[in-house]
A and B are shown apart, each in its own frame.
Chain A
């Protein structure tokens, strides 16, 4: 009764609160400007995206939204601006989406004040941009390419990675499997290049944490609709040596969801579908994540996806660096952002920071299915001398990246 009374009261009060809030906002922004003169022109941040054609969803899932990533960056700008105005800092965000087949390098060359570029594009584009002579003074924040090689031999000094690498995702998953002692893995991989990379990352993680791939099957839906045949068809690739889980590598979601509950033996499906690992997801709630989820839903009208989180995180990191530097001078902000001591919050319960050896943002990774966060990696018991977060992904001795040589970890 008390609760319903409170709810009614809150509803009747809302217009008043909103009015007051608006008035306060106006009054205060005026005040803030008066009290804290601008420290310089707004800091320019660019959001650059390569549009990627994606297959239609298999099971009427929500399609990957066209504004994935961009909306996250937009929220990051809102948050950073709300913070910056208290100390006279402003930010601007310009969004550019390049159509499939168009030249992303030309799009980059057209940008003005291009020190900070939040980049949502496949790895080939990422490297093409990072290698441009005109881009050597820029910092690209990668939010779309999970390719481990960009953190390995193909790393670049002007490239930071906000999105976790495939290696981090599969390390998180295998830590979980090792913790559960579900260490015998039957792997089913799809035909796409990304599937092969995911399978490769999984094998590497299995080796790292003492799990075993006991059998491996390739599965190609050949563009067909597996929904009608899944009941019988999936018994074949999932029949094999004794195993604890069936791991699936199907990044585009062409058959993996139908594998769930259609395996030959009653085993959980893990990997790109089933229990998967991700930087973010709808059920993430702890560490005040629910606040960020709420703000994003209000802005975008949909749930926040991993690439959205990475977009938010990229702009938020730039904003925090500017606040720490107390400057909107791009060079000063870049120096702060890329300093070994830079730490930033990201609603994951720990300070996040960029690894000194490959530019990857170290961060917890969620093990989740659409209903719940099952666990958060690093899983308890996986220790590291620096921070447990470095048990995920390429550690310093494992990475072939040398572009950052000279920075201390």
Chain B
């Protein structure tokens, strides 16, 4: 009995020491599953608003933002306790979002009403609602913070938003059903996936034109089952990871040659991807199999499958903030 108690105490002590946690939104369960980065076990699951999809962290990792699509809100949540601190006005049906480098301006895609809502996370005020194409989905902000983009799934364009004037200034047609957009670290290129087009467009940010279209082919899988969704660029910028939906694969693309180096078999219908802070691991949300595949980015090999809730959708990793004494946690400072 004593040993057990001691063991438990040790466990509790060791828990906060784990380096990072991965938060996964379960679209059908209205919950977030938290995976421990060391043990790769689900540490805890907490309820959130209805139909949670996009998730991201404040810069300091102390606030989790969740697009609760059917609650028409972005929820600001204490990642340690799972408590909702408050909601941000998000516009109708928020699906994905991106936090600007200033750490406070959120660009939110409102899937149902063809707008991008811009919210100041500090003042909780709507700064603008910008008219974009039908079914806005993917959102990204350039590393220098000057340009935001929204992809529209039915209009099939990347819409460019000037973050100073908060106006849509241009639109670049891409392949059918663009779902996700990611800027390269130097901000010169934008990668945008097209789910039905089956391609990823690489766009030159200066000219806003597509300079390369990446195609995929997996032996034994019909071409129309290869449906690119989530995109993550490796920390060294050498590779792009592309989730290929119902082909159950993640492609590894060489960012210089635009050739696919490898296809990694993951769970069923892989949608979104998240890298850990060091870029050593890639986490994939597998919608149909209800799990997360953990990939070693050095070897491009899957190392573990972690069961989460129903229809895992989004994922975000956070290094556990250093000062994690219970006191500072209770203070619950908003970002």
Interface residues of A in 379-394 (CB under 8 A from B): 387-389
Contact with A along B151-168 (1 / 0, CB 8 A): 011111101000000011
Looking at A5-13, A130-138, A218-226, the stretch in contact with chain B turns out to be A5-13
Q: Which of A14-22, A105-113, A233-241, A399-407 contacts B (4 or more CB under 8 A)?
A: A14-22
- State whether B196 touches A27 (Cβ < 8 A): no
Q: Which of A81-89, A157-165, A254-262 contacts B (4 or more CB under 8 A)?
A: A81-89
B134 touches A79 (CB 8 A): yes
Within 8 A of A (CB), among B85-133: 87, 89, 91-92, 111-115, 117, 126, 128-131, 133
Does B72 sit within 8 A of A, measured CB to CB?
Answer: yes
Select one of A3, A86, A387 contacting B224, CB under 8 A: A387
Known: A9-B87, A86-B157, A323-B173. A31 touches B168 (CB 8 A): yes
Determine the chain B residues whose CB is within 8 A of the CB of A17 once the complex forms: 89, 91-92, 117, 126, 129
**CA of A21 to CA of B156, assembled, Å:** 21
Chain B residues closer than 8 Å to A24, beta-carbon distance: 115, 128-131
What is the size category of the interface that chain B forms with chain A?
35 or more
> Which residue of A83, A294, A351 is within 8 Å of B197 (Cβ)?
A351
Given contacts A9-B73, A13-B89, A35-B169, contact A345 B154 (CB under 8 A): yes
Q: In the bound complex, what is the Cα–Cα distance between A349 and B269 (angstroms)?
A: 12
In the complex, the answer to whether A7 meets B115 with C-beta atoms within 8 Å is: no
A320 within 8 A of B: yes
Q: Which of B68-92 contact A (CB under 8 A)?
A: 68, 71-73, 75, 84, 87, 89, 91-92
Query: B192 CB to closest chain A CB, in angstroms?
Result: 15
User: How many A-B contacts if CB must be within 8 Å?
Assistant: 126
The answer to whether the Cβ of A350 comes within 8 Å of any Cβ in the partner chain is: yes
Q: How far is the CA of A149 from the CA of B87 in the complex (A)?
A: 57
Asked if A288 and B153 make an inter-chain contact with CB atoms under 8 angstroms apart, the answer reads yes
Alpha-carbon distance between A25 and B73 when the two chains are bound, in angstroms: 22
Cα distance A87–B198 in the bound complex, in angstroms: 23
In contact, B177 and A2 (Cβ under 8 angstroms): no
Q: Which residues of B contact A291 (CB under 8 A)?
A: 111-112, 135, 153-154
Select A351's contact among B30, B71, B111, B196, beta carbons within 8 Å: B196
- The answer, among B68, B112, B155, B176, for a CB contact under 8 Å with A82, is B155
B128 engages A20 (CB within 8 Å): yes
Knowing A13-B89, A294-B112, say if A28 contacts B131 (CB, 8 Å).
Answer: yes
Tell me the residues in window 12-56 of chain A with beta carbons closer than 8 Å to chain B beta carbons: 13, 16-17, 20-21, 24-25, 27-29, 31-32, 35
State whether the Cβ of B15 lies closer than 8 Å to any Cβ in chain A: no
- Which chain B positions have C-beta within 8 A of A6? 49, 68, 71-73, 75, 87
Please classify the interface of chain A as helix (H, G, I), strand (E, B), loop, or mixed, using the class held by over half of its residues: helix
B171 located at the interface, meaning its Cβ lies under 8 Å from any Cβ of chain A in the complex? yes
Residues of A within 8 A of B92 (CB): 10, 17
Taking the complex as formed, is A215 at the interface, i.e. its CB lies under 8 A from any CB of chain B? no
Judged by a CB distance under 8 angstroms, whether A154 is at the interface is: no
Q: Which residues of A contact B130 (CB under 8 A)?
A: 24, 28
Known: A6-B68, A86-B155. A343 touches B176 (CB 8 A): yes
Do residues A82 and B114 form an inter-chain contact, with CB atoms below 8 A?
yes
CA distance A389 to B224 in the complex (A): 9
Whether the Cβ atoms of B176 and A2 lie closer than 8 Å is no
B8 at the interface (CB under 8 A from A): no
Whether a CB of chain A sits under 8 angstroms from the CB of B278 is: no
- Chain B, residues 185-223, CB within 8 Å of chain A (1/0): the string is 000000000001110000000000000000000000011
Does B72 contact A7, Cβ atoms closer than 8 Å?
Answer: yes
- Expressed in whole angstroms, the Cα–Cα distance for A370 and B47 within the complex equals 32
A252 at the interface (CB under 8 A from B): no
Tell me whether A350 and B111 are in contact (CB under 8 A): no
Contact of A87 among B30, B135, B171 (CB under 8 A): B171
In the assembled complex, which residues on chain B have CB atoms less than 8 Å from the CB atom of A320?
156, 176
Of all chain A residues, the one with the shortest Cβ separation from B227 is: A349
Cβ 8 A contact of A2, one of B84, B157, B225:
B84
| Residues of B with C-beta under 8 A to A345 | 154, 156, 176-177, 196
Contact of B133 among A5, A86, A350, A389 (CB under 8 A): A86
B246 CB contacts on chain A under 8 angstroms: 349
User: Does residue A344 face the partner (Cβ distance < 8 Å to B)?
Assistant: yes
Residues from chain A with Cβ under 8 Å of B301 in the complex: none
- A10: B residues at CB distance < 8 A: 71-73, 92
Closest to B224 in A: A350
Q: How far is the CA of A5 from the CA of B87 in the complex (A)?
A: 9
Q: Which residues of B contact A27 (CB under 8 A)?
A: 131, 167
Given the complex of chains A and B, what is the CA–CA distance between A388 and B198 in angstroms? 16
Interface residues of B in 30-80 (CB under 8 A from A): 30, 47-50, 68, 71-73, 75
- Which B residues are CB-close (under 8 A) to A7? 71-72
Which residues on B sit within 8 Å (CB–CB) of A29? 131
Q: Cβ of B133 and Cβ of A83 under 8 Å apart?
A: yes
* A351→B194 CA distance, assembly (Å): 11
A35-B170, A288-B135 known; 13 new pairs, CB 8 Å cut-off, are A3-B50, A5-B84, A6-B72, A20-B126, A24-B130, A29-B131, A32-B168, A35-B169, A79-B134, A82-B155, A83-B152, A291-B112, A320-B176
B-binding residues in A (CB < 8 A) = 2-3, 5-7, 9-10, 13, 16-17, 20-21, 24-25, 27-29, 31-32, 35, 79, 82-83, 86-87, 288, 291, 294, 320, 323-324, 326, 343-345, 349-351, 387-389
Query: What are 6 A-B contacts with C-beta separation under 8 Å?
Result: A17-B129, A21-B91, A83-B134, A83-B157, A343-B176, A343-B196
Pairs A-B, 3 closest by C-beta atoms: A10-B72, A6-B71, A28-B131
